[in-house]
Structure 1
Amino acid sequence: MDEISPTRWQWRVPASLPAAKLAGAVLLIALGLLFADGDAVRLALAVLAAAILAGWAVRDLIAPVRLAVDPAGLTVIHGFAGHRLLPWTTIEAITVDRRPRLGLTSEVLEIDTGESLHLFGRFELGTNPEEVAATLRAARRYP
Structure 2
Amino acid sequence: MDALTWRVPGKVPAVKLAAATAILAAGLLFADGDVVRLVLAAAVAAALALWAARDLFVPVRLAADPEGVTVVAGLTGRRHLAWSEIERVRVDTRPRLGLRTETLEIDAGESLHLFNEYDLGVPPAEVAAALEPLREGGRL
Q: How high is the TM-score relative to the length of structure 2?
A: 0.95
Q: Are 1:22 and 2:17 counterparts?
A: yes
Shift of 1:136: 0.6
Aligned residue pair count: 138
Q: Note the 1:64-143 alignment, pairs <5 A.
A: 64-141=59-136, 142-143=138-139
Equivalent residue letter for 2:134: A
Equivalent residue letter for 1:120: F
Shift of 1:95: 0.4
Equivalent residue letter for 2:68: G
Q: What whole-Å deviation, never above 9, does each CA across 1:1-31 have from its counterpart, x for those lacking one?
A: xxx84xx200000011111111111111000
Equivalent residue letter for 1:126: G
Q: Are 1:53 and 2:53 counterparts?
A: no
Equivalent residue letter for 2:115: F
Structure 1: which 5+ residue stretches go unaligned?
A: none
Q: Which runs of 4+ in 1 moved over 3 A?
A: none
- In the alignment, the residues of structure 1 paired with residue 59 and residue 97 of structure 2 have an alpha-carbon distance, to the nearest angstrom, of 30
Shift of 1:138: 1.5
- In the alignment, the residues of structure 1 paired with residue 96 and residue 26 of structure 2 have an alpha-carbon distance, to the nearest angstrom, of 30
Shift of 1:102: 1.3
Computed over aligned residues only, the root mean square deviation of the Cα atoms, in angstroms, reads 1.1
Equivalent residue letter for 2:106: I
Structure 2: which 5+ residue stretches go unaligned?
A: none
Q: What whole-Å deviation, never above 9, does each CA across 1:50-93 have from its counterpart, x for those lacking one?
A: 00000000100110000000111000000101111000100000
Q: Are 1:63 and 2:63 counterparts?
A: no
2:4 to 5, 9, 21: 9
Q: Are 1:38 and 2:33 counterparts?
A: yes
